[in-house]
Protein backbone atom coordinates (compact mmCIF):
# COMPACT_ATOMS: atom_id res chain seq x y z
CA UNK A 1 0.00 0.00 0.00
CA UNK A 2 1.40 3.46 -0.88
CA UNK A 3 2.69 5.43 2.08
CA UNK A 4 0.13 8.20 1.56
CA UNK A 5 -2.80 5.78 1.90
CA UNK A 6 -2.83 4.89 5.56
CA UNK A 7 -5.15 2.13 6.81
CA UNK A 8 -7.92 3.39 9.04
CA UNK A 9 -7.05 1.28 12.08
CA UNK A 10 -9.25 3.73 13.96
CA UNK A 11 -11.51 6.44 12.71
CA UNK A 12 -8.93 8.92 11.51
CA UNK A 13 -10.01 12.58 11.48
CA UNK A 14 -8.87 12.94 7.89
CA UNK A 15 -8.91 11.12 4.57
CA UNK A 16 -5.96 11.20 2.19
CA UNK A 17 -6.64 10.82 -1.51
CA UNK A 18 -3.51 9.41 -3.04
CA UNK A 19 -1.69 11.38 -5.67
CA UNK A 20 1.86 11.87 -6.85
CA UNK A 21 3.71 14.03 -4.32
CA UNK A 22 6.24 14.71 -7.07
CA UNK A 23 3.62 17.01 -8.58
CA UNK A 24 4.54 19.45 -5.84
CA UNK A 25 0.87 20.38 -5.41
CA UNK A 26 -1.45 19.57 -2.52
CA UNK A 27 -5.25 19.95 -2.39
CA UNK A 28 -6.79 20.68 1.01
CA UNK A 29 -10.43 20.53 2.05
CA UNK A 30 -10.89 21.70 5.63
CA UNK A 31 -14.68 21.41 5.72
CA UNK A 32 -15.27 18.25 3.70
CA UNK A 33 -17.56 16.44 6.14
CA UNK A 34 -20.62 16.99 8.32
CA UNK A 35 -19.90 13.92 10.48
CA UNK A 36 -20.01 14.14 14.26
CA UNK A 37 -17.87 11.18 15.44
CA UNK A 38 -19.22 8.93 18.17
CA UNK A 39 -16.69 10.11 20.73
CA UNK A 40 -18.20 13.61 20.62
CA UNK A 41 -21.48 13.65 22.55
CA UNK A 42 -22.33 10.17 21.30
CA UNK A 43 -22.21 11.30 17.68
CA UNK A 44 -24.62 14.22 17.92
CA UNK A 45 -24.49 17.94 18.61
CA UNK A 46 -28.23 18.04 19.22
CA UNK A 47 -29.15 19.41 15.80
CA UNK A 48 -31.68 17.86 13.42
CA UNK A 49 -30.46 16.37 10.14
CA UNK A 50 -31.78 19.38 8.26
CA UNK A 51 -29.33 21.62 10.10
CA UNK A 52 -26.44 19.16 9.86
CA UNK A 53 -26.95 19.18 6.09
CA UNK A 54 -26.70 22.98 5.97
CA UNK A 55 -23.58 25.02 5.37
CA UNK A 56 -23.15 25.56 9.11
CA UNK A 57 -21.94 21.95 9.43
CA UNK A 58 -19.72 21.65 6.33
CA UNK A 59 -18.83 23.13 2.96
CA UNK A 60 -21.37 21.62 0.59
CA UNK A 61 -19.77 20.25 -2.58
CA UNK A 62 -16.19 21.11 -1.61
CA UNK A 63 -15.15 17.51 -1.05
CA UNK A 64 -16.26 16.40 -4.51
CA UNK A 65 -14.45 19.29 -6.19
CA UNK A 66 -11.30 18.54 -4.15
CA UNK A 67 -11.23 14.86 -5.03
CA UNK A 68 -11.73 15.58 -8.73
CA UNK A 69 -9.09 18.32 -8.69
CA UNK A 70 -6.68 15.87 -7.09
CA UNK A 71 -7.39 13.35 -9.83
CA UNK A 72 -7.03 15.83 -12.67
CA UNK A 73 -3.86 17.38 -11.26
CA UNK A 74 -2.43 14.05 -10.06
CA UNK A 75 -1.93 15.64 -6.64
CA UNK A 76 -2.52 14.31 -3.13
CA UNK A 77 -5.53 15.68 -1.31
CA UNK A 78 -6.41 15.73 2.36
CA UNK A 79 -10.00 16.04 3.50
CA UNK A 80 -11.40 16.42 7.01
CA UNK A 81 -13.68 13.69 8.37
CA UNK A 82 -15.43 15.74 11.05
CA UNK A 83 -17.88 18.61 11.01
CA UNK A 84 -16.64 22.16 11.42
CA UNK A 85 -19.14 22.31 14.33
CA UNK A 86 -17.07 19.73 16.23
CA UNK A 87 -14.01 21.95 15.86
CA UNK A 88 -12.97 24.13 12.95
CA UNK A 89 -9.65 23.10 11.38
CA UNK A 90 -9.58 26.40 9.49
CA UNK A 91 -9.10 28.34 12.73
CA UNK A 92 -6.08 28.82 14.95
CA UNK A 93 -6.14 27.11 18.33
CA UNK A 94 -6.68 30.43 20.12
CA UNK A 95 -9.43 31.66 17.78
CA UNK A 96 -12.71 32.36 19.64
CA UNK A 97 -14.67 30.75 16.77
CA UNK A 98 -12.74 27.46 17.04
CA UNK A 99 -15.82 25.75 18.57
CA UNK A 100 -19.00 27.55 17.60
CA UNK A 101 -21.91 27.85 20.01
CA UNK A 102 -24.02 29.92 17.60
CA UNK A 103 -23.71 29.81 13.80
CA UNK A 104 -25.81 31.75 11.28
CA UNK A 105 -28.59 32.19 13.81
CA UNK A 106 -28.60 28.52 14.93
CA UNK A 107 -27.68 27.52 18.49
CA UNK A 108 -25.45 24.42 18.61
CA UNK A 109 -26.79 22.53 21.67
CA UNK A 110 -23.82 20.16 21.95
CA UNK A 111 -21.44 23.11 22.16
CA UNK A 112 -23.35 25.36 24.57
CA UNK A 113 -21.66 23.92 27.66
CA UNK A 114 -18.32 22.99 26.07
CA UNK A 115 -15.47 23.49 28.55
CA UNK A 116 -11.69 23.84 28.13
CA UNK A 117 -11.21 20.11 28.67
CA UNK A 118 -13.70 19.34 25.89
CA UNK A 119 -11.91 21.74 23.56
CA UNK A 120 -8.54 20.21 24.36
CA UNK A 121 -9.92 16.74 23.63
CA UNK A 122 -11.24 17.88 20.26
CA UNK A 123 -7.94 19.59 19.48
CA UNK A 124 -6.00 16.41 20.21
CA UNK A 125 -8.46 14.09 18.51
CA UNK A 126 -9.28 16.07 15.35
CA UNK A 127 -7.66 19.45 14.81
CA UNK A 128 -4.02 18.64 15.54
CA UNK A 129 -3.90 15.28 13.71
CA UNK A 130 -5.43 16.91 10.62
CA UNK A 131 -2.79 19.62 10.58
CA UNK A 132 -0.02 17.15 11.39
CA UNK A 133 -1.01 15.20 8.29
CA UNK A 134 -1.09 18.36 6.18
CA UNK A 135 2.44 19.10 7.40
CA UNK A 136 3.57 15.55 6.60
CA UNK A 137 2.24 15.74 3.05
CA UNK A 138 3.77 19.16 2.47
CA UNK A 139 7.11 17.91 3.75
CA UNK A 140 6.93 14.99 1.34
CA UNK A 141 6.11 17.31 -1.56
CA UNK A 142 8.95 19.64 -0.57
CA UNK A 143 11.39 16.83 -1.21
CA UNK A 144 10.60 17.23 -4.92
CA UNK A 145 9.74 20.94 -5.11
CA UNK A 146 11.28 23.64 -2.89
CA UNK A 147 8.01 25.56 -3.17
CA UNK A 148 5.05 23.15 -3.06
CA UNK A 149 1.77 24.78 -4.06
CA UNK A 150 -1.24 24.58 -1.73
CA UNK A 151 -4.80 24.76 -3.09
CA UNK A 152 -7.54 24.98 -0.46
CA UNK A 153 -11.14 24.35 -1.58
CA UNK A 154 -14.15 25.73 0.26
CA UNK A 155 -17.74 26.60 -0.53
CA UNK A 156 -20.09 29.25 0.79
CA UNK A 157 -23.81 29.70 1.07
CA UNK A 158 -25.51 32.02 -1.45
CA UNK A 159 -27.15 33.91 1.41
CA UNK A 160 -26.60 34.17 5.15
CA UNK A 161 -29.64 34.50 7.39
CA UNK A 162 -31.06 38.00 7.22
CA UNK A 163 -28.58 39.21 4.62
CA UNK A 164 -28.67 39.79 0.88
CA UNK A 165 -27.70 37.44 -1.91
CA UNK A 166 -24.02 37.11 -2.63
CA UNK A 167 -23.28 37.86 -6.29
CA UNK A 168 -19.95 36.07 -6.65
CA UNK A 169 -19.68 32.66 -8.28
CA UNK A 170 -16.11 32.20 -7.04
CA UNK A 171 -14.15 33.92 -4.31
CA UNK A 172 -10.36 33.91 -4.32
CA UNK A 173 -8.98 34.41 -0.82
CA UNK A 174 -5.41 35.40 -0.07
CA UNK A 175 -3.24 37.51 2.17
CA UNK A 176 0.35 38.64 1.50
CA UNK A 177 1.27 36.03 -1.13
CA UNK A 178 -0.46 36.64 -4.45
CA UNK A 179 1.62 34.30 -6.60
CA UNK A 180 -1.36 32.07 -7.34
CA UNK A 181 -4.26 34.27 -6.26
CA UNK A 182 -3.60 37.32 -8.41
CA UNK A 183 -3.23 35.52 -11.77
CA UNK A 184 -6.17 33.27 -10.84
CA UNK A 185 -8.40 36.29 -10.27
CA UNK A 186 -7.23 37.84 -13.53
CA UNK A 187 -7.89 34.72 -15.58
CA UNK A 188 -11.25 33.93 -14.04
CA UNK A 189 -12.39 37.50 -14.63
CA UNK A 190 -11.80 36.96 -18.32
CA UNK A 191 -14.68 34.45 -18.28
CA UNK A 192 -17.86 36.23 -19.37
CA UNK A 193 -20.18 34.10 -17.26
CA UNK A 194 -18.42 34.57 -13.91
CA UNK A 195 -18.48 37.13 -11.13
CA UNK A 196 -15.23 36.80 -9.17
CA UNK A 197 -14.64 38.06 -5.66
CA UNK A 198 -11.19 39.21 -4.55
CA UNK A 199 -11.18 38.28 -0.85
CA UNK A 200 -14.96 37.87 -1.05
CA UNK A 201 -17.21 36.72 0.53
CA UNK A 202 -14.58 36.43 3.27
CA UNK A 203 -11.13 37.85 3.79
CA UNK A 204 -8.13 35.58 3.37
CA UNK A 205 -6.28 37.63 5.97
CA UNK A 206 -7.13 35.43 8.95
CA UNK A 207 -4.08 34.73 11.07
CA UNK A 208 -3.82 31.14 12.23
CA UNK A 209 -6.11 29.64 9.60
CA UNK A 210 -4.97 26.76 7.40
CA UNK A 211 -3.44 28.85 4.62
CA UNK A 212 -1.80 31.19 7.11
CA UNK A 213 -0.29 28.28 9.01
CA UNK A 214 0.87 26.11 6.12
CA UNK A 215 1.26 28.66 3.34
CA UNK A 216 2.11 32.13 4.61
CA UNK A 217 4.13 31.04 7.65
CA UNK A 218 6.21 28.60 5.57
CA UNK A 219 6.52 30.84 2.52
CA UNK A 220 4.78 28.46 0.09
CA UNK A 221 2.54 29.67 -2.77
CA UNK A 222 -1.09 29.07 -1.89
CA UNK A 223 -4.66 30.13 -2.50
CA UNK A 224 -8.07 29.47 -0.98
CA UNK A 225 -10.87 29.04 -3.50
CA UNK A 226 -14.47 29.62 -2.39
CA UNK A 227 -17.20 28.27 -4.68
CA UNK A 228 -20.85 29.23 -4.14
CA UNK A 229 -22.35 25.95 -3.07
CA UNK A 230 -25.47 26.09 -5.21
CA UNK A 231 -23.07 25.76 -8.17
CA UNK A 232 -21.47 22.54 -6.86
CA UNK A 233 -24.26 20.66 -5.11
CA UNK A 234 -24.25 17.68 -7.48
CA UNK A 235 -21.55 15.23 -8.52
CA UNK A 236 -21.72 16.43 -12.11
CA UNK A 237 -21.28 20.12 -11.25
CA UNK A 238 -18.44 19.30 -8.87
CA UNK A 239 -16.62 17.50 -11.66
CA UNK A 240 -17.37 20.30 -14.10
CA UNK A 241 -15.92 22.97 -11.83
CA UNK A 242 -12.84 20.88 -11.09
CA UNK A 243 -12.36 20.42 -14.85
CA UNK A 244 -12.69 24.17 -15.32
CA UNK A 245 -10.23 25.07 -12.56
CA UNK A 246 -7.58 22.36 -12.95
CA UNK A 247 -5.95 23.56 -16.20
CA UNK A 248 -5.97 27.19 -15.04
CA UNK A 249 -4.37 26.31 -11.71
CA UNK A 250 -1.87 23.96 -13.36
CA UNK A 251 -0.75 26.67 -15.79
CA UNK A 252 -0.41 29.28 -13.03
CA UNK A 253 1.62 26.94 -10.85
CA UNK A 254 3.90 26.02 -13.77
CA UNK A 255 4.38 29.68 -14.67
CA UNK A 256 5.14 30.59 -11.05
CA UNK A 257 7.78 27.88 -10.83
CA UNK A 258 9.34 28.86 -14.12
CA UNK A 259 9.52 32.50 -13.10
CA UNK A 260 11.08 31.68 -9.75
CA UNK A 261 13.56 29.33 -11.38
CA UNK A 262 14.64 32.12 -13.74
CA UNK A 263 15.09 34.46 -10.80
CA UNK A 264 17.21 31.90 -8.99
Tens of pLDDT along 197-252?
999 999 999 999 999 999 999 999 999 999 999 999 999 999 999 999 999 999 99
Q: Mean per-residue pLDDT for 34-60?
A: 96
Which backbone phi and psi does 31 adopt, to 5 degrees? -120, 50
Instruction: Tell me the pLDDT of the chain averaged across its residues.
Output: 93
Q: Mean per-residue pLDDT for 3-11?
A: 44
Is the pLDDT score of 123 beyond 80? yes
Is the pLDDT score of 155 beyond 80? yes
Tell me which residue of 176, 184, 186, 170 sits closest to 241, measured CA to CA: 170
Is the pLDDT score of 8 beyond 80? no
99 Rama sector, left if φ>0, alpha if ψ -120 to 50, beta otherwise: beta
The distance between the two most distant Cα atoms of the chain, rounded to a whole number of Å, is 56
Residue 63: CB atoms within 10 A of its CB come to 24
Tens of pLDDT along 58-98?
999 999 999 999 999 999 999 999 999 999 999 999 999 99
Distance CA 197, CA 201 (A): 7
pLDDT at 264: 63
Residue 162 banded pLDDT, cuts 50, 70, 90: low
- Burial classification of residue 173, based on how many CB atoms lie within 10 Å of its CB (0-12 exposed, 13-18 middle, 19 or more buried): buried
Q: What is the dihedral of CA 115, 121, 127, 133, to 10 degrees?
A: 170
pLDDT at 148: 97
Q: Mean per-residue pLDDT for 135-147?
A: 95
Residue 130 banded pLDDT, cuts 50, 70, 90: very high
Q: Where are the beta strands (DSSP E) in the chain?
A: 14-17, 25-29, 77-80, 102-103, 106-107, 149-156, 170-173, 196-198, 222-228
Distance CA 92, CA 213 (A): 8
Q: Where are the beta strands (DSSP E) in 33-148?
A: 77-80, 102-103, 106-107
Domains, the chain: 14-258 (3.40.630.40)
For residues 229 and 60, is the Cβ–Cβ distance under 8 A? yes
Amino acid sequence: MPDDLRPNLREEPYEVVNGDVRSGTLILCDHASNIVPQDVNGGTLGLPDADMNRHIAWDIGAAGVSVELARLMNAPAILSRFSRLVIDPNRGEDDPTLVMRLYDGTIIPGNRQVNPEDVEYRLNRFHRPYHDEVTRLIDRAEEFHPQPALISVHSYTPQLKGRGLRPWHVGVLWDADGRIAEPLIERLRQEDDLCIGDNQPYSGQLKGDTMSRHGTDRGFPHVLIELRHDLIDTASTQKAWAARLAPILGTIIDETRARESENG
